[in-house]
Structure 1
Amino acid sequence: MKKGVFTLEPLSCPSCIKKIEGALKKMNGVKEVNVLFNSSKVRTQFDEELVTAEEIQHTIVKLGYPVLAQKVS
């Protein structure tokens, strides 16, 4: 399991949290998602054999939220 933290541009509304969490939780291999509204970060835990950090980032960007930084450990 890997942990990923994606830093986004500032989120403008709390409904953004549900939109991002809903989309990422549907991804095969994503086990945990936590969107931090105040710091505009998305924390994930995922199985790197099923999904990559780049795929997660691509999904976030497709939703309309530019990713400024990505950290995977």
Structure 2
Amino acid sequence: MQKANIQLETLTCPSCLQKIEGAVRGVEGIDQDSLKVMFNASRVKVEFNDSETSIEEIEKAITDMGYEVKKSRVKAA
């Protein structure tokens, strides 16, 4: 498992949070229980199985929803 900390552009509404959460939940290999979208910090924290998905796939799910990923950090969980 890998831990990802993804910094996003500033989130402007609570519905943004729900859209991002839904998009990330749809990525295979995500640990559903670890997913946290922090509205005030404009940050996503999630653990994922790196044999099933990658940070690039998670970022793509977010950018496909129209949100900019500023930077990501990944480390072993």
**TM value normalised by structure 2:** 0.90
Number of residues of Structure 1 aligned to a counterpart in Structure 2: 73
Which of 34, 42, 45 is the matching residue for 1:43?
A: 45
- CA distance in 2: counterparts of 1:11 and 1:2, whole angstroms: 25
Shift of 1:9: 0.7
**What is the alpha-carbon distance in structure 2 between the residues aligned to residue 46 and residue 59 of structure 1?**
14
Of the three residues 59, 63, 66, the one matched with 1:61 is 63
Greater CA drift, 19-28 or 63-72: 19-28
2 CA distance for matches of 1:62 and 1:22?
Answer: 12
On the 8 A contact 2:27/2:61 being kept in 1, the answer is: no
Work out the CA distance in 2 between the residues paired with 1:11 and 1:25: 18
Give the 4+ runs in structure 1 shifted more than 2 A. none
Structure with the higher fraction of residues in strand conformation? 1
Identical counterparts, % of pairs: 40
Aligned-pair CA distance for 1:72: 0.3
Q: In the alignment, residue 17 of structure 1 is paired with which amino acid?
A: L
Gaps (5+ residues) in structure 1?
none
Give TM-score scaled by structure 1 length.
0.95
- The match for 2:6 is 6
Cα distance between partner residues in 2 of 1:44 and 1:12: 21
